Structure 1
Amino acid sequence: MAATTTATVPATRSAAAPVRRRRRLLSYWPQYVAIAPFYLLFLAFGLFPILFSIYLSFNEWDGVGEMTFVGLGQYQYLVADPRFWNAVSNTFIIWIGSTVPMLFLALLLAFLLHQSIRFKGAYRVAFFLPNVTSMVAMAIVFGSVFSDSFGLANGFLRWLGSQEIGWLTESWAIKLTLVLMVIWRWTGYNAIIYLAGLQAIPTELYDAAKVDGASTWRIFTSVTVPMLRPVILFTVITSTIGGLSLFTEPQVLLANSGGNENSGGPGEAGMTIVLYQYNQAFTQFDFGYGSAIAWALFLIAAVFSIINWRLVREREGLADRRTRRAGR
């Protein structure tokens, strides 16, 4: 009798355990309902378009008629497309020309803002203001400054007695204008990120460096930069992704500078990868080829983000090994 009772109790407990778990899960249904809209929207407007674009890149489709499966045909055409490689070249030139000085200026501004200066809050607002300014307003301002006929830049060159420059018609000048536009817009944003990282560095390190007689530049290179490596890595990766995805600046600035609305200016000198993808998908209505360009851009951005991450991590590891050797 005792053996029968002992065998029945575990069986009853094992049968009741799923019921208790089910009731516990049901007790949390208000929380599940509260977060459900995010996941539903993500599935509808995030995950599904991503997966559909992969399928679409293997088809020809104008958005209305039937799809035609072409396999790797879109990617084969992509490899041999000179306009795509021109867009890649333009994107890399603008990205490298803007990212390096932008991050250096941002780090320098953050370091200066971290010092004991007056009106620090006003400076932060002033540096961050370009990032929240409307792109249309920015395009109007830069279009006025760099206009070929009545721009302030050419007016200044005329005052100096120098030759005028076709800022929005010459190939190198178009790229330089876009570089300046990117630097002006994103330097303050990265400076605020660097400033947040600087505020996490212990002040004892700066005090010790000043006691040792280190100059401001020495403190900047030997204390600030090494301690900010994780933040620098973050800004390098985000700037890489943002630089390779450049679209709004050339699309708005060069819309009326020659050619059609999405040509990237005369000679397609300002045509970037994303602008070319937009042109193919939403102007030429070749959604299959546009999807192939988008995935090519994803691979390029992923490769360069990994390269940047590895370079920064290796430099950090080398610096750590040198510090351990010095400690011994």
Structure 2
Amino acid sequence: MTWVPPPRPRPPAPAPAPAPVSPRRESRGRLGRLDAKVSPYLYIAPFFLLFLVTGLFPLFYTGWVAMHDWDQIMGKGEFVGMANFVDVLTGRGFWRALANTVSIFLLSSVPQILAALLIAALLDRNLRAKTLWRMGVLLPYVVAPVAVALIFSNLFADRFGLINALLETVGIEPVRWHSDRLASHIAIATMVNFRWTGYNALILLAAMQAVPKDLYEQASIDGASAWRQFWSVTVPMLRPTIIFVIITSTIGGLQIFDEPKMYDQFGRGGADQQWQTLTIYLYELGWTRADFGMASAVAVLLFLVIVVFGIVNFLLTRHIAHDEGKRS
């Protein structure tokens, strides 16, 4: 038997040469890749440019003015560093205005959020003409703040106000709504609640309608009452929206200006500044005393106060959410 050698393996065939790419196609592909990378940033660039011009630049410019002796007539003066902040913090006017602002903020925001949550729960039920009711709670928000302030300042008038007339019919002594500090804070907080409760109620109502109905059916099968369903199902599901409402009401409450400004005919926060807020104090420094440096210092301090309150709100809500998660 003769030996036959195995056949030699053939060398692999050479790969075909790639087809030459035309310069036009190569340029088009490069432009397409560049468009995919750059176009998202171009789409969002108008927002950042607008924020830079109307938000970030005024913030830094206010801080720069706060460190100068800036007069309304003479213009920019010498650099004084932190002297304006020291003058504001060592004066009595800033702390009085801060106390008034916090008092009005607490008297308005806490009842406002609770009332908005209750109204949203009522509007979420099967009511007749529900669209009419939902539009009705938004009507106070449409009314101009100046009109609301003028109407309520007359309702809470010390002598001939309707509120005092109603109190006298039930045997209660008239309240000095413009002279007493706490009474003036309650009156101004009532204006704020009248305007903003319906607006916040619609925000909470939109979040309530996004809650899955299966959760309510499951809770009713387990024997939970309507109140138990609201407290154990609705409120936990609304936590992100409630946090949003709390933060927005905090920012708005600490910047309140229209209602206390129009509460009397002088607009200075009362004869003894008993309801003068930080924004009115800022306005008085800037336009009445023509001291832009101190007014800018108050604006910077107000910004820091809002940041502190926002951080406190965030920490409290996160702590409550963490405790509820551990219990569940």
Q: Same fold (TM over 0.5)?
A: yes
Aligned: 1:322 with 2:320: no
Corresponding residue for residue 71 of structure 2: 62
Corresponding residue for residue 227 of structure 1: 237
Where does 1:164-243 land on structure 2 (aligned, <5 Å)? 164-243=174-253
Aligned: 1:45 with 2:50: no
Aligned partners of 1:195, 1:70: CA distance in 2, in Å?
Answer: 51
1:59 is paired with a residue of what secondary structure? coil
Corresponding residue for residue 300 of structure 1: 305
1:264 offset after TM fit, Å? 0.4
Give the residue type in structure 1 aligned to 2:166. F
Q: Is the 8 A contact 2:101 2:278 kept in 1?
A: yes
Aligned partners of 2:51, 2:217: CA distance in 1, in Å?
Answer: 48
1:172 offset after TM fit, Å? 1.6
Aligned partners of 1:220, 1:230: CA distance in 2, in Å?
Answer: 16
Corresponding residue for residue 134 of structure 1: 144
1:140 offset after TM fit, Å? 2.1
- Give identity over the alignment, percent: 41
Q: Is the 8 A contact 2:71 2:291 kept in 1?
A: yes
Aligned partners of 1:212, 1:38: CA distance in 2, in Å?
Answer: 49
1:282 offset after TM fit, Å? 2.0
Corresponding residue for residue 4 of structure 1: none
Q: Is the 8 A contact 2:149 2:258 kept in 1?
A: no
Q: Is the 8 A contact 2:104 2:189 kept in 1?
A: yes
1:174 offset after TM fit, Å? 0.7
> 1:58-98: CA deviations, max 9, x gaps?
01111333322110101111221111000010111111111
Higher alpha-carbon deviation: 306-315 or 40-49: 40-49
**TM-score, normalised via structure 1 length:** 0.84
1:24 offset after TM fit, Å? 5.6
Give the residue type in structure 2 aligned to 1:306. I
Aligned length in residues: 304
Give the residue type in structure 1 aligned to 2:89. V
In structure 1, stretches of 5+ residues that fail to align are: 1-8, 324-328
Aligned partners of 2:33, 2:226: CA distance in 1, in Å?
Answer: 63
1:297 offset after TM fit, Å? 0.9
**TM-score, normalised via structure 2 length:** 0.84
1:248 offset after TM fit, Å? 1.1
Where does 1:1-328 land on structure 2 (aligned, <5 Å)? 20-21=30-31, 42-64=51-73, 65-254=75-264, 256=265, 261-323=266-328
Q: Which has the larger radius of gyration?
A: 2
Aligned partners of 2:54, 2:237: CA distance in 1, in Å?
Answer: 39
Aligned partners of 2:94, 2:113: CA distance in 1, in Å?
Answer: 28
2:272 is paired with a residue of what secondary structure? helix
1:222 is paired with a residue of what secondary structure? helix
Q: Is the 8 A contact 1:262 1:279 kept in 2?
A: no
Aligned partners of 1:307, 1:36: CA distance in 2, in Å?
Answer: 32
Q: Is the 8 A contact 1:170 1:266 kept in 2?
A: no
**RMSD between aligned residues:** 2.8
Aligned partners of 2:46, 2:320: CA distance in 1, in Å?
Answer: 43
Q: Is the 8 A contact 1:171 1:267 kept in 2?
A: no
> 1:217-252: CA deviations, max 9, x gaps?
111111111111111111111111111111111011
Corresponding residue for residue 3 of structure 1: none
Q: Is the 8 A contact 2:69 2:79 kept in 1?
A: yes
